[in-house]
Amino acid sequence: MTFAYGSRSFARLSYAEWTKFRTVRGWVLGMAVAVLVTVGLGLFSASGSHSSCGGPDDVCPAVPIGPDGEAVDDKFYFVHRALGGDGSITVRVTSMTGQVRLPDATPGVRRVTSKVEPWAKAGVMIKDGTRQGAAYAALMVTGGHGVRMQHDFTHDTAGSRSGVSKAAPRWLRLTRAGDELTGYESADGTRWVKVGTARLAGLPSTVRVGLFAASPGDLTVTQADLGGAVAASRFAQATAVFDHVGLQGGTPGGSWRHDDIGAAKEPDGEIHHPGGVVQAGGTFTVTGVGDIAPRTDGQTVEKTLSGLLAGLIVVIVVAVVFVTAEYRRGLIRTTLLAGPRRGRALTAKALVIAAVTFAAGLVAAGVTVPLGAHILRANGNYILPVGSLTELRVVAGTAALLAVSAVLALALGTVFRRSAVAITGAIALVILPRILATTSVLPVEASRWLLRVTPAAGFAIQQSIPAYSQVTAFYSPQAGYYPLAPWAGFAVSCGYAALALGLAVLVLRRRDA
């Protein structure tokens, strides 16, 4: 019975705070302004972003889509034959070398250096045809990460850390049994160790099986003069030597086919940076460029929320004034008389400001994200596709981040009782670290540190494209990648809000008795 009474008492306090909020026109108007600013600036920014691929028709090439709906890079050199039903391919890799193109010291004189990219890859593959984005499983040696088994672009399983040389070759075997593909490695071709298994649902009875090579670009990151970093990628290729090639299962007769998967062509029809193969007896020397991996180059849905920081400033002002106005007008005594239990009274106020802010943020993000994405696409920009659950997390997470920030601002308003001080403190804690970390003002590690230990960590809830450990890319805050996972970053912001609210309750009990 006491619990029920307490619940009714808290409900009455919450309703009273809600009544207080909705009857003050300035507060309601402030939330409306926060929505309009977020939507307006986001759509204005999207309308001003144009992309062009050039050429007479100004048509951008289609981006391959992987089996799970993600954008992918699917560019490699493939030497292959048909495989009907179950079977396997076994090879020995005796060498892996690479080249990186350097800037020309003399115009027109090509300059290269010998280097194997860490994620350059070569090995054996079973793939659902030769179209880009088709399902596949591959067992490979890499330039710096040992033996790996990868499938359908996003899945990566580590094998041994062994490198490849003539003195220490590596045997690879990939088998198919229905939809299940299993990779094995060996140092001598006799004793085999399982690397991993992939299940490719719906794999047709006849697939392509063979050898491949690919290499992503050579990524270099240099420190900028004024902080931050500059990333550049140079053309790279990988060459692998295979022998002891053995096929088992339903492999019809005929010669090997050679395909430069995803190769770009010049206007005259020539392939730009082609791969190739040299076959001498039973030895294949395969050279390839490109990558087989999730694509990270493109606009993301959260880029449409460029007006969020301006909207967040308005939310902080409203949340602070929601409590400091009572101190300024002397109404805090009335509030505490209505709710003598100070912690419960402040919690009710926090609940109201959080609920109102969440609703406003949901409207703002729910309008801006789909409409802004539509405008970006209409302007020729490519937006990396994400699943509906990820987009929902970006929208709802943005609203939740605004709500948590409002609670933090409310708590600071209670502690300081002065609007200017509390607003400045909230902006310094939430917005300033976000700006410093994402605008190339600080070194990359300092930016990551800020986004781990400040309330700005919660902006990670907006990241729609994950950082893939098997993809060579510049994963920095400046590029939209946060050091914490989305919900982990959001939890840091929630922790700050809870800590601030607890401090506010303590101060309220001791000071405003």
Residue among 167, 177, 168, 76 at smallest CA distance from 124: 76
The pTM for the full model equals 0.88
Q: Per-block average pLDDT, block size 10, for the chain (513 residues)?
A: 54 84 93 97 92 56 90 96 94 95 75 92 96 97 96 96 91 96 96 97 94 93 72 91 92 81 71 83 95 92 96 97 79 54 81 97 97 93 93 97 98 93 97 93 91 97 95 90 96 97 87 58
Q: Which residues pair with 367 in a beta bridge?
A: none
**Amino acid identity at 313:** I
481: three-class secondary structure by DSSP: coil
pLDDT in the model for residue 239: 97
DSSP at 462: G
pLDDT at residue 56, rounded to an integer: 46
Q: Pairing relation of β-strands 76-102 and 121-127?
A: unpaired
Cβ–Cβ under 8 Å, residues 289 and 100 = no
Write down the pLDDT at residue 38: 97
- Buried b vs exposed e over 10-34: b needs ≥16 C-beta within 10 Å? beebbebbbebbeeeeebeebbebb
CA–CA separation, 171 vs 164, rounded Å? 10
pLDDT the model gives residue 330: 54
User: In this predicted structure, what is the pLDDT of residue 303?
Assistant: 94
Per-residue CA distances from 207 to 87, 179, 342, 479 (Å): 11, 11, 70, 38
Full DSSP string of 63-77? PPB-TTS-BEEE-EE
The separation between CA 287 and the C-alpha centre of its own chain, rounded to angstroms, equals 30
Number of other residues whose CB lies within 10 A of the CB of residue 177: 13
How far apart, in whole angstroms, are the C-alpha atoms of residue 481 and residue 452?
12
Q: What is the pLDDT, as a whole number, of residue 107?
A: 75
For residue 75, the model assigns a pLDDT of 96
* Nearest residue to 292 via CA among 183, 134, 182: 134
CA distances for 48 relative to 45, 372, 379, angstroms: 5, 11, 8
- Beta-bridge mates of residue 102: 111
Q: Which contacts (CB < 8 Å, 24+ apart) does range 505-509 have?
A: 505/342, 505/343, 505/346, 505/347, 507/414, 507/415, 508/342, 508/343, 508/346, 508/414, 509/342, 509/343
Dist CA 67 CA 274 (whole Å):
26
Q: How many Cα neighbours within 13 Å face the side chain of 481?
A: 14
Torsion over CA of 336, 338, 343 and 347, rounded to 10 degrees? -110
d(CA 187, CA 407): 60
Name the β-bridge partners of 380: none
Residue 440 Cα to chain centre, angstroms: 19
The C-alpha atoms of residue 367 and residue 346 are separated, in whole angstroms, by 32
Return the CATH number of 72-294, one of 2.60.120, 2.40.30, 3.40.1350, 3.30.1360: 2.60.120
DSSP 379: T
User: How far apart, in whole angstroms, are the C-alpha atoms of residue 32 and residue 398?
Assistant: 16
- CATH 2.60.120, the chain: domain bounds: 72-294
Q: Which pair of structure tokens corresponds to residue 494?
A: 């929630």
What are the backbone angles phi and psi of residue 267, rounded to the nearest 5°?
-55, -30
Whether the Cβ atoms of residue 150 and residue 119 lie closer than 8 Å to each other? no
Reduce the DSSP state of residue 161 to 3 states and report it: coil
Q: From CA 300, how far away is CA 420, in angstroms rounded?
A: 35
- Please name every residue paired with 151 in a beta bridge, in sequence order, or none if there are none: 137, 155
